[in-house]
Structure 1
Amino acid sequence: MSDAQERAFDELADRFVIEVPRAAAATSVHADARFDPASVYGRTAPLIVEIGSGQGHAIISAARSRPGDDFLAVEVFRAGLARTMLDADREGLRNLRLVEANAPEVLETLLPEGSADEVWVFFPDPWHKNKHTKRRLVKPPFAETAARALRDGGVLRFATDWEDYALQMREVMDAAPAFERDFAGEWAPRFGGRALTAFERKGAARGRDIRDLAYRRRPRA
């Protein structure tokens, strides 16, 4: 990380980063770890969780424009978390927190069941080489863990610029019994709450179509 990013952890982590008890790995979540949104944010409000928040451009924009909602950025790369903290501090945001942890473990363990109003997965690593596609995040087990974290009626949103990954996402989610489509036609309209980032512009400039999907959590039995 740069010197500024190192300073971000030294000076801002106490304000923004949620300390997570670990299991074996540095980004793991201990099975007994729990996150209490009301205690962390000091209020009860809708909670939006972004998985793989990168440098934080999307979630910073959303937190700034939706002060009545609370936001949780989940990321494993410290440089991205540092950049997010620097921008959040510059914006004076009070409704954003960060977790340095593996996303599935956050959804499975750390978040209380039914606590998230929305979960966002924007431009996850496509692992586009055939030998690497097994590493993709969005597979049937992911649908199950996301269903646990979302409240009834909550929304799981996706965006990707890789067509075959978009098709995989749709196949996985269409088959997930806990979810139903929240769109008509082949693809969801572009989510207006997603900031247009340099990453998205870059994909579009290379001729890759941006595809959105949105799925609503069915009521629990």
Structure 2
Amino acid sequence: MSVFADKPVHQPGPPRTYVRREGRLTDGQKRALSELLPQFTYPEDGRAPGEVFGREAPRVLEIGFGNGESLAAQAGKHRDQDFIGLEVHRPGVGYLLQAVEADKLSNVRVSSSDALLFLDQALPQASIDRVQVFFPDPWPKKRHHKRRIVRPDALDKIARVMKPGAVLALATDWDNYAEQMMEVLSAHPAFENCHGDAQFAPRAERIVTRFERRAHRLGHTIHDLAFSRR
């Protein structure tokens, strides 16, 4: 989750799950966005991921990758898998692209589009093996809860692109959001808790990012959830 702040941008239709937070771009991030983004942008024309990556491999979609630290580490460790990362904040996209270049990661593609639009337009049905939503914006004020990414209409879109048996892995350090995630996912007909009714999951495979270290310093409990696509 980004640490930058900005005013909400309003649009008709379902509530956005984010605000645009540009922050300050470093020279390296500017160069990465200019030179690398065209090469590593995931197209939004609905073509099969195998065509985009030029091979058939397990596919991981991460929604809201922040600065991409965790996604880059995962892609480097699992070069036999293909990773699609969504992030609306340009500094984070630039940071990830720098890591992609430095580590020679050919198995990563990115998009800075609205996640809900991307899910509708870019990916075919039943094309993803794993979806990750780590530390999404908690929108802590009650009047903003409708913006949370884990809500029924967003889960419908996520479920559409997941293969049967694919796993949706989530993490949050907000107790209230963890409870809502559990409630909404447990009630959704497309998902089944991998660890039993109302049970949280062991920590998912990911490095401890700067954001997660900060959550620990603040005394927050990290809640992981894992649900499979029926």
Normalised to the residue count of structure 2, the TM-score between the two structures is 0.86
Deviates more, 1:132-141 or 1:110-119: 132-141
Q: Equivalent residue of 1:106, what SS?
A: helix
* Cα deviations by residue, 1:190-218 (Å, 9 ceiling, x for unpaired): 11x21111101110110110000000001
- Report the equivalent of 1:41: 53
Q: Equivalent residue of 1:158, what SS?
A: strand
- Report the equivalent of 1:124: 136
- Hey, what's the Cα distance between the residues in 2 that align with 1:196 and 1:164? 22
* Deviation for aligned residue 1:69: 0.4
* Cα deviations by residue, 1:119-169 (Å, 9 ceiling, x for unpaired): 000000001122322211111112211110100000001000000000000
Aligned residue type for 2:171: A
- Hey, what's the Cα distance between the residues in 2 that align with 1:120 and 1:175? 19
- Report the equivalent of 2:119: 107
* Cα deviations by residue, 1:15-66 (Å, 9 ceiling, x for unpaired): 212344xxxxxxxxxxxx3132112111000110000011101110110010
Judge conservation of contact 2:82–2:107 (CA < 8 Å) in 1: yes
- Hey, what's the Cα distance between the residues in 2 that align with 1:14 and 1:101? 14
Ranges in structure 2 where 5+ consecutive residues have no aligned partner: 1-24
Structure 2 residue 40 is matched with structure 1 residue 16: yes
- Hey, what's the Cα distance between the residues in 1 that align with 2:91 and 2:42? 16
The runs of at least 4 aligned residues of structure 1 exceeding 4 Å deviation read: none
- Report the equivalent of 1:187: 200
- Hey, what's the Cα distance between the residues in 1 that align with 2:195 and 2:188? 16
Ranges in structure 1 where 5+ consecutive residues have no aligned partner: 21-32
* Deviation for aligned residue 1:71: 0.2
- Report the equivalent of 1:30: none
- Hey, what's the Cα distance between the residues in 1 that align with 2:53 and 2:95? 21
- Hey, what's the Cα distance between the residues in 2 that align with 1:61 and 1:149? 24
Q: Equivalent residue of 1:154, what SS?
A: strand
- Report the equivalent of 2:102: 90
Aligned residue type for 2:37: A
- Hey, what's the Cα distance between the residues in 2 that align with 1:12 and 1:62? 20
